[in-house]
């Protein structure tokens, strides 16, 4: 018989029980698409020209800036944007007025716009794969957490603002 004298440790509060860290979907998609396109096979979407490169890069940079702006909302309100962190506030203004998931939307748009810029179907395939991974692995667990944490306030927000766009 052992004498267990360890004090009881308090349970640490936890945010959403997501499957993975969301930026991994973007990073893996960008790297994998680039490698597949460069070293395996180039899958062009259309006859490429410099206009598509400019448009695609403009959209990618704009989406990146939207994600940074959204992260600043968290920072300005002293909240951690990591989905597993405990949230004390529900953001419904700024980019959250148009999408409940503006950062994840920006990630998908970045992948799609890179497909346009680099004339590569691999980036589009990465976006298509990332969409359900983000939806089922991150967004739905986040929504369950936010419903539990904020109740009717979140449910009303959910009714008025789309998940993606």
The answer to whether 138 and 19 have CB atoms below 8 angstroms apart is yes
Structure tokens at 48: 């490429």
pLDDT in tens, 40-76: 999 999 987 899 999 999 999 999 999 999 999 999 9
Residue 123 in contact with residue 29, Cβ under 8 Å? yes
Record the tokens describing residue 9, joined without a space: 């440790």
- The whole-angstrom distance between residue 22's C-alpha and the CA centroid of its chain comes to 5
Looking at residues 133-160, what average pLDDT do you find? 97
Domain ranges of the chain: 23-82+89-160
| Cα four-point dihedral sign 158, 136, 58, 27 | positive
């Amino acid at each position: 018989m052992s004498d267990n004298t360890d004090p009881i440790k308090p349970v640490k509060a936890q945010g959403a029980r997501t499957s993975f860290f969301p930026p991994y979907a973007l990073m893996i998609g960008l790297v994998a698409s680039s490698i597949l396109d460069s070293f395996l096979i180039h899958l062009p979407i259309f006859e490429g020209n410099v206009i598509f490169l400019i448009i695609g890069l403009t959209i990618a940079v704009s989406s990146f800036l939207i994600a940074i702006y959204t992260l600043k909302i968290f920072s300005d309100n002293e909240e951690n944007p990591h989905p597993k962190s405990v949230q004390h506030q529900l953001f419904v203004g700024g980019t959250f007025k148009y999408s409940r998931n503006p950062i994840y939307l920006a990630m998908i748009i970045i992948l799609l716009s890179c497909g346009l810029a680099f004339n590569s179907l691999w980036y589009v395939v990465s976006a298509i794969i990332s969409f359900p991974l983000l939806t089922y692995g991150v967004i739905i667990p986040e929504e369950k957490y936010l419903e539990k944490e904020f109740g009717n306030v979140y449910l009303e927000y959910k009714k008025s603002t789309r998940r993606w766009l």
